[in-house]
Each structure stands twice: as structure tokens, then as C-alpha cells.
Chains A and B, each alone.
Chain A
């Protein structure tokens, strides 16, 4: 467990703060973030409005009329001292992915950069057990830990102005499930028809920080049918208990 003395609580203006458990991407640090997030969720602390668990810190939005920085920071220190690092959420998503070709335009180049054939690279990406460290940047964009270090790949020198909805990408030691189309410097290995964010569906969001993720390779001929199901509001990704 990271020493509590390493904990830093810093202001983000007058209505938010961040509780930092460390400066690095580290599963143990992230587990402490999620542990405090869960503890804060059940403690019902006056003035706390919402939170963003991130890799190494918990962002807390609060009402400055109800509580102040020093008062809230003290309460969060207590909770951080007593909360346990979060175990996995117990939810694991099995996410269908079409690898390569028009769905994963960087798969060949990434495989070549590791002297692997494309099937091997896709296999190594799919078999790893991932965990969602955080959701951020754009709605439903899930940052994953757990990428096989043998296929970690530095980001592209020139970011692309457009990567598609559902892009399955890697960048450095990170992996992701992207939901909305966005610019990115990450490598596109494949694409999922799953829509983590769909404002017309209940629930609007599927994945949460702390959930597990596995990838399931599906053939390109299945894309159209899966995409139709997703458009009708089906989750497409299967949810299993870990």
C-alpha cells in the first residue's frame, strides 16, 4: 500500500479538488483511487456533488457554499486512511472486435514494428485481461491497464485528425475502447460495434472505472449485424461476473 504521507489534496478552483495518491500509472495506486471513490460514495459527505476516478487521483466536485476546501480535505484524508484499495468491480465486459483491415488500419504496421504477424498481434491484444482505470477525455472513452508489454507501441508521431467510433486502440503501454470519433495519436488495431455511450438508451453508459474488459475477435462479416443490434440499443458486449 502506498504510504499515506504520499497523499496530496490540491485545489481545482473554488468548487473542485483532486486527491492524488501518486504520480504514475500503477494498478495499486488506481485501486486506492477507486477505493476512496467507493468510500466517498457511501459516506454521503455534505457538499460532494460528483467525482471522477482517474489513473492516480480522485477528482471531487463540491458545492463551496456547503463545504470548504480545508474541511473537505480533512474528511477525505480520514476516508482515504480507512478505505481499502478497491478490488475489481466484479463486472467483466466481453467486447466484440473486428481486427485489422478497414476496421484496424494500424494493425499491420504495429505487427511489423514488433516483428509479429498480424494474427499474433491481434491474439495477444485480445487474450490480455484488462481493467478500466478511468473513463474520460470524451464520453465513454475507457482507458485500460493490462496491455501485454510485448505489444506496447509508442504513439504516432503525427496524431490523426479522425479515428472512428468504437476504435480499439493502443498508445504506449495504454489500451482503450473509444466510443465517439475523435482525433488521436494512438494506433487503431480494430473496431467494436459496442456503444459505451448512447444517449437514447437506458443505461446511457455501460462501462465504469474498475470494470474488467476482455476482447473477443469476431469476423468482419459479423460487423453489419452487430452494428444493427447496437443501433437498436443492444449492449452487444456481454457482461460476465469475474
Chain B
């Protein structure tokens, strides 16, 4: 057994897998990775199941050290400068680390979360089938809260197979974040819905795994901002009395009493969650049939990720191939700032 020791962590780094299902009716939301595609890709690179636990690394500087035995890792998600000693580390490639090695991540550029997957996985005790940290519920394993310096994560040891692997992610979706209106869009006038759909929004700094607030024009609800509390889906956009939209995400409350104007489609949840505070975005409405077609295509994308893993010809020692890998590394970054301007 090897250990990944946390030497430095920002406030938003935690163990996350695909989430915890079956307890919505008891008031427990799913938690789970904010960016499902990056989770799936990181796991595919190290040969783990698509829904396996990873370290979801928040946007600030983070540093890990390897202890006990060698580990093989892969990092996918928000672009950032990453170094192992003097070596520059590219996204979407496996890398073998020896005991004593450190992995230093600089702040994310134009994204939020980067996923660290480990060959052999993270060891922990699942609750409702998941290791995901749900901070407010005090759930998660092996550490039931966001990580801090001094934490140690037991992980699998690197297999003795030679050669590293790489992965080119499918091209990033661009354009507006697709939403389905409802279920309380009838609380809003046509003008208010137009304001919501036609405006440019910025993710507000007060945003976290529970929800992202959006800065922009005020959206008033013609029929008032109180409903009898009902269920809330992942990506649901509620409009409280302040008129400032709040997008409810993985760690949300399961029910709430504000009208919900719309919900982000599954395919766009990850790229929405990767929108950093201050970045601009727009919404576009699709109907339920179009949303289903997007969901089917999205599932195919996720299911197709593992087949994109290939041997990394650039994993040898030549400086030329290292340079090529680094260039490719920036090319596969799906979450640079350009993704969000139109």
C-alpha cells in the first residue's frame, strides 16, 4: 500500500467519485465529482472504473508527496502548471511517482477542478456505495472532509507494467450552457425569462460545491419567490428573493422553497462547474426532447473515453518527445478561458 500525503491544499480539495445514490429521499444529495468527464478520463488512464474515487483538486496551489511505495497517477481537468521536482507534468497522461517524489500544482487557469486518479484506487469505506466527501453531512472516506496539510490518503501501488498512457479528450463543447426551463418557469413573466436567457452572467466568488451564484441583472419572479418546498435536481437554477440566480450542484440541499426557473442539462454540468468566478457565460433553452438527445450523446461520450486511452509514445526520456507531450497537454485542456467567451 502506498500513501499520498497532503503537504498543501486549498479549501476545495476532497475525495470524490461519481457520487452517492439512493438517499435523496432522506435529505442526502449525491455529492460526487463536479466534472464527470474529467473524473472518467482520469480513471480511464490509470485503469480504474469510470466512477472510482479520485482527489478532486480545487483551484488553489496544492502539493502532495508520495510515501510507502510507488504510485501511478493521472491528472485531468482544469489547466495549471504542475511539476514533479524539475519535471513538468502534463494533463491527461499517466506518470509513475516514487516514494519521496512530490507533485506541486499551481493555481488553476480558466478552470476550477483538476482530478487526480491513482492506479489501484483510493482505499476507503463506502457509505451508500460511495467514498465521496459531502462536507455538510460529515460523509466521505478515507477522510470525511476537505483535505488539509497533514492528511494521508491510502492508495494502490503502481503496477510493474512498463510504459505510460495518454488520452486525447473529445473536443470541448463550446457555446452557451444548455438548460431546460422549469419546473417553476410559470412563476416568471416572459420578460423575466428573456432577461435570464438573453443576459451574460458571471460566476460569483461566493460559489462552492453546494451551488454557484451568478452575477448579472436581477431576475424577479412575477408570482413571488416562495413556493411549497419541493425536490431539487443537480444543476437546478433557483431564484431567491434577491433575484440573483443560484445554481444548485452536487452538495445541494435536496429540497428548497424558492422557484426554480430552469435546470442545466447533464452534458453541460461539468463545463458549467469548471467556470471560475468572474468568467462569463450564457444560457440557451432546449426542450425536453432535445435535452434527452444531448443526454444520450453525453453518455456515449463518457462511455467512449476509455477507448481513447493509448500508449504514450512520448513517455521516453527524449526532450523532443517531452516537449511534444507538453504541447499536446495544453491542446487537450478542455477548460481554458476561451471555452467561455462567445
Contact = CB atoms under 8 A, between A and B. Distances in A.
Interface residues of A, number: 46
Interface in B224-280: 227-236, 253-256, 260, 263-266
B294 A136 contact: no
Given A52-B255, A136-B254, A138-B136, A64 B292 contact: yes
A163 interface: no
A12 B236 contact: yes
A13 interface: yes
Contacts of B260: 12
Interface string B156-194: 000000000000000000000001111100000000000
Contacts of A191: none
Given A56-B228, A68-B288, A11 B183 contact: yes
B22 interface: yes
Interface stretch (B23-31, B76-84, B334-342): B23-31
In the A-B complex, the 4 residue pairs with the smallest Cβ-Cβ separation, listed nearest first, are: A59-B231, A136-B255, A13-B263, A10-B183
A137 B25 contact: no
A233 B260 CA distance: 38
B138 interface: yes
Contact of A139 (B137, B230, B295): B137
Contacts of A56: 228, 230
B26 A140 contact: yes
A108 B264 CA distance: 46
Interface string A1-42: 000000000111111111010011100000000000000000
A76 to B, nearest CB: 14
Contacts of B289: 68-70
Interface in B115-168: 127-128, 136-139, 144
B25 A208 contact: yes
Interface of B: 21-28, 127-128, 136-139, 144, 179-183, 227-236, 253-256, 260, 263-266, 288-289, 291-292, 294-296, 299
A199 interface: yes
Given A64-B295, A68-B288, A139-B27, A12 B231 contact: yes
A55 B288 contact: no
Nearest to A37: B25
A235 B174 CA distance: 51
A67 to B, nearest CB: 9
Nearest to A60: B231
A11 B230 contact: no
Main secondary structure of the interface of A (DSSP, over half): loop
A10 B182 CA distance: 7
Contacts of B264: 13
Contacts of B144: 199
Given A16-B231, A55-B229, A50 B25 contact: yes
Nearest to A9: B183
5 contacts: A13-B266, A15-B266, A17-B183, A69-B289, A134-B255
Contacts of A23: 227-228
Given A10-B183, A137-B253, A25 B127 contact: no
A57 interface: yes
Interface in A45-66: 49-57, 59, 61, 64-65
A10 to B, nearest CB: 4
B292 A55 contact: no
Contacts of B256: 137
A13 B265 contact: yes
Contacts of B22: 50
Interface in A134-170: 134-141, 143
A231 interface: no
B26 A137 contact: no
Given A16-B231, A24-B228, A11 B266 contact: no
Nearest to A61: B24
Contacts of A79: none
A137 B255 contact: yes
A218 interface: no
Contacts of B23: 139, 204-205
Nearest to A198: B138
Contacts of B235: 13
A143 B124 CA distance: 33
B134 to A, nearest CB: 8
Contact of A13 (B21, B229, B253, B291): B291
Interface in A104-142: 134-141
Contacts of B255: 52, 54, 134, 136-137
A15 B138 CA distance: 27
**Which of A15, A55, A70, A204 gathers most chain B CB within 10 Å?**
A15
B263 A197 contact: no
A226 interface: no
